[in-house]
Structure 1
Amino acid sequence: MVSVIILTKNEEYDLGRCLDSLKWTDDVHVLDSGSEDRTIEIARLYGAQVACHPFESFGKQRNYALQNLNLKYEWILFLDADEVVTTAFKKEVLRSITKASENIAGFYCCWKMMLEGQWLKYCDNYPKWQFRLLRKGRAFFIDFGHGQKEGEIDGELGYIKEPYLHYSFSKGWTEWLNRHNRYSTLEAKARLNSCPPFRNIFRKNSSIRNPALKSWLIRVPGWPLLRFIHAYFLNLGFLEGSPGFIYCVNMAYHEFLIYIKIRELKRKNITQELLPDPAQTYK
């Protein structure tokens, strides 16, 4: 069987749907970081074990969960509150961990991005791989941008090719825009200050390749517009109707926010370099 960890803060709208899809496991943990709504009440209503810890970053919060929660099983699945496990995904997870050799430390998983009841297969560059399923004590996370990726791994990683569902827009566009405004600040800092080497663009592993692509493509003149053209036209996003158009426009806007925040960070860095050293000025 599998232990499941869900990180939450004010997730009363989505959490019930997520927990309802996890009735097949008897070890579900909700690690909350200060909810002020009914999140904890809903978690306990569904029989989940609840713990609380202040949020610093996604990578650190996931590592805290791995190191401090009383996890029952060897295999651990991380989910967000706005994600749903399908029957097919559950079956593939159980099949994969049953057949996994001892050298397998975990698995990348992928999602179906859902908007207005529609799967955005083309707009969202399906499949996008995230490290979500791991063997206890064999893997940890590091931060990158607004999210996290795998860090120290003891073994090899496989792939769960059957997707789960991701309802990123479930709370409405106002919440999504506010959230991605915060995310864009973290992404700008990461792409500017922690830019991976250019050679990583050609790596086969998407978890290594994608951070490099993000960090280098943002330097291309007109990248936000090119991001829209790629997703909507070249990737056939126009086939997904109004939801596809809205998604492509907003993802291009997200890249634009990252672009202008990188410019702002560069100007601040230059200004700091030009300022006189107070210790030298008043000698």
Structure 2
Amino acid sequence: MNKPDKTPISITIVACNEEKRIGECLRSVQWADDIVVIDSGSTDRTLEIAEANGARVIHHDWPGYGAQKQFATSQAKHDWILNLDADEYVTDKLADSIRNTFLDLPESIVAFECNFEHFLMGRWLRHGEAYPDPHIRLFNRQAGNWNTRPIHEHIEINGPTDKLEGSIRHRTVESLAEYIEKINGYTDLQAKIIVESGKRVRFDQLFLRSFWRFLRGYILRLGFLDGIAGLTHSMTSTLTTYLKFAKAYELQNKDRG
């Protein structure tokens, strides 16, 4: 059976000032029938690049990660949606897996899980928390959607799922300095969530959870096999855990003399 020219799914991408990365993302999904980019106010060449690669571009002011992705879902042409961030792209193996699956799509399946690969310090990580790092990204919107968490949002699905071959490659930063800057912003949001939940931060959360995250990623999941990049990933993951609880502790005690 010959593959159709275009696979009947929608690609949704949320973006803002992503001219350095979005081109690779868009070029990796030209086999899809519908590509929609939800832009929240880019001032660089993001919109020009998106339109040049055949995407529909829709402006929508930024309401938070989960809410923006929900809006993107609502703008898709098809019920089946593959969501990507602008700094991610689909490998050829995953593209073939998706296209072959849609030649004979099982009626019972409502979503598919994909492995992720993460790039850091000049190499694709293959161990630790960084790989295989599976997430649901291809789903039928009749059976689920994104939650509205302001960070670490995910797709909530009601029904059977399956797994695809291949992976989504995530090239999130161009330098370690940029990575630390992102961690600082993310942990601000995470700390706010902790405080708003009413949970009090204790010493064991600051120390033991941070220690466990390093032990799990670097030793138990063999992060050390990725060399200096693996050590850096484990250390920055540990720092992320520590900072979110430390910042929450600071917020909870800021009014004390």
TM normalised by structure 2 equals 0.85
Aligned twin of 2:87: 82
- The alignment status of 1:110 with 2:115, answered yes or no, reads yes
Corresponding pairs, count: 249
What is the CA-CA distance between 1:195 and the residue it aligns to?
9.2
Question: Per-residue deviation at 1:230?
Answer: 2.7
- Indicate the RMSD between aligned Cα atoms, in angstroms: 2.8
Please give the per-residue CA displacement for 1:113-169, whole angstroms capped at 9, x wherever unaligned.
Answer: 122442212132522232211114331111336121223x44333332432211122
Partner of 2:207: 221
Checking the alignment, whether the CA contact within 8 Å between 1:125 and 1:235 is kept in structure 2 is: no
Tell me, yes or no, if structure 1 residue 231 matches structure 2 residue 236: no
> Using the alignment, how far apart are the partners of 2:243 and 2:131 within structure 1?
23
Separation in 2, partners of 1:28, 1:195: 40
State how far apart, in whole Å, the 2-side matches of 1:228 and 1:136 are. 36
1:220 positional shift: 6.5
Partners of 1:233 and 1:43 in 2: how far apart? Answer: 41
- The more displaced of 80-89 and 238-247 is 238-247
Match of 1:133 among 131, 138, 141: 138
Answer whether contact 1:7 1:30 (CA < 8 A) is retained.
Answer: yes
Distance change (3 Å), C-alpha of 1:189 and 1:39:
same
Residues 1:125 and 1:46: Cα distance change in structure 2 (over 3 Å): closer
Mark the CA change 1:195 to 1:94 in structure 2 (over 3 Å): closer, same or farther: farther
Which has more helix, going by share of residues? 1
Question: How many percent of aligned residue pairs carry the same amino acid?
Answer: 32
Structure 1 residue 245 and structure 2 residue 252: aligned?
Answer: no
Q: Structure 1: which amino acid aligns with 2:138?
A: L
Q: Distance in 1 between matches of 2:165 and 2:158?
A: 22
Q: How far does residue 97 in structure 1 lie from its aligned partner after superposition?
A: 4.0
User: Partner residue of 1:41?
Assistant: 48
Inter-partner Cα distance in structure 2 for 1:184 and 1:87: 34
- Structure 2 regions of 5+ residues with no counterpart? 1-6
Tell me if the contact between 2:12 and 2:35 (Cα under 8 Å) persists in the aligned partners: yes
Q: Which residue of 1 aligns with 2:3?
A: none
Q: Which residue of 2 aligns with 1:260?
A: 246
Deviates more, 1:10-19 or 1:245-254: 245-254
Counterpart for residue 182 of structure 2:
179
Give runs of aligned pairs for residues 27-176 of structure 1, distance below 5 A: 27-67=34-74, 69=75, 71-144=76-149, 146-151=151-156, 153-169=157-173, 171-176=174-179
Superposition deviation, residue 60 in structure 1 = 0.6
Matched, 1:189 2:175: no
| Worse overlay, 138-147 or 85-94 | 138-147
Equivalent of 2:25, from 3, 8, 18?
18
Q: Which has the larger radius of gyration?
A: 1
Gaps of 5+ in 1: 197-214, 273-283
Kept in 2: contact 1:144–1:190 (CA 8 A):
no
User: Are the aligned partners of 1:107 and 1:159 in contact in 2 as well (CA < 8 Å)?
Assistant: yes
| Structure 1 Cα separation of the partners of residues 77 and 193 of structure 2 | 35
Check the 8 A contact 1:112/1:120 in 2, yes or no: yes
